[in-house]
Amino acid sequence: MRAVETDPGTLPRSVVLALWLTATDAAPGVVVRHVQGDDEPHGVVGLPGHADPASPAGLRDLVTAWLAGPREVCALLPAPGDLGGVPAEASAEATEAGECVVVTTPAGSWAAVPEVTAFGSALEPGHLVTWRVRPVPRWSAHVVGTLGSLADAERELRTSLVTATDALDALDVARWRDDAADAIERLRGGSTDAWPVPALDGRRARVLQLASRLLAIVDLATVDEGGAVNLWQADQRSTALREVERTARHALSAATYGAVGARL
C-alpha cells in the first residue's frame, strides 16, 4: 500500500510562485527561498532575454524579470481531460507536470512549467527542478472564465467538503487503515500561517486551506476501497471524488490569480 500525502500545507510549486509574484513588495531573494524550499537550486530554460549558454538562467532571474513591472499571474493545475485554462501551447507539458504558472507583462505572455526529478531516499529526499518557459497567447479571459471568481470557488468548496467527508465516512478508513486516523486528524487542523506564501487576505487564505485539504482527503479516500463495497458503490464514490478533486484544483488556481500595477 502506498504512502498517502495528507499534509494540506503541501502546495504545488506553481501555486507558491504565483502567490509571491502577485505580492506587491516581494524581494526576489525572499521569493526564491520560499519557492525552492528544500529543493536544489531551480534552473530555468527559455527565459525571455536570457540567451547566454555560458550562464544558465536560475529562478532568481525569472523572478527578478517578472517582478519588475505590471503583471498578471495565475497558477494552473491541469489534469487529463481538464486543462483548467492552460493555453494549448503549454498544455502537454503542463498536464504531465500537473501544474504551471502563466504570466502576462507588457512584454508578452508566457507559461512556466516545472519539470521535477526526485532523487535520494524516503528519509532524505531531494528534487531537481527546471522551469521551462514558453510564449503563449493572452490567457486571462479564458482562465477567468474557466475558474470563476474567488467567491464562486469558496462556495463550491463548501459543497465539495460535504461530498468528500461522506466518502471518508462510507469507507470508514480510520477503522481499517492504521495510518488513517492520524492523517484525518491532521486534515482537521492547521492554518496557512506556516505555509511558504506571502501574507494573504482572509478569503484567499480560506480557499487555499480548504482546497488543499480537500485534495488531501481525496488522496486518502482513493488509495483503495477499504471495506466491502460493490462495484456500483465504488464507481459512484469515484465519480463524486473526481468532481471534488476538480473543484479543489480550480479553487487553488483561482486563489492565485492576481494583477499588479497598471492595467496591461
CA atoms within 13 A on the CB side of 251: 30
pLDDT at 207: 92
What order of strands is seen across the sheet that includes strand 100-105? 57-58, 43-45, 125-135, 108-120, 100-105, 71-76, 258-260
> Residues 72-92: what's their mean pLDDT?
96
Answer for the pair 67, 28: CB distance below 8 angstroms, yes or no.
yes
Asked whether residue 25 carries a pLDDT value surpassing 90, the answer given is no
Task: Indicate the Cα dihedral angle 159, 161, 166, 169, nearest 10°.
Answer: -170
Looking at the predicted structure, is the pLDDT value of residue 2 above 50?
Answer: no
Q: What is the per-residue pLDDT for 176?
A: 43
What pLDDT was estimated at residue 158? Answer: 85
Q: pLDDT grade, residue 142 (50/70/90)?
A: very high
pTM metric for this prediction: 0.86
Q: What is the mean pLDDT of residues 63-87?
A: 95
Please state the rounded mean pLDDT for residues 26-36.
95
C-alpha cell at 142: 479564458
Q: How much is the average pLDDT of 180-207?
A: 73
Rounded-to-integer distance, Cα 236 and Cα 247, Å: 17
- Examine the pLDDT at 96 and tell me if it is beyond 80: yes
Look at residue 6 in the predicted model and tell me its pLDDT: 39
- Residue 66's pLDDT band (cuts 50, 70, 90): very high
- Rounded to an integer, the average pLDDT of 62-71 is 94
Mean pLDDT (the chain, rounded): 83
DSSP-derived secondary structure letter, 41:
P
Q: What is the pLDDT of residue 122?
A: 81
SS3 state at 188: helix
**pLDDT higher than threshold 90 for residue 195:** no
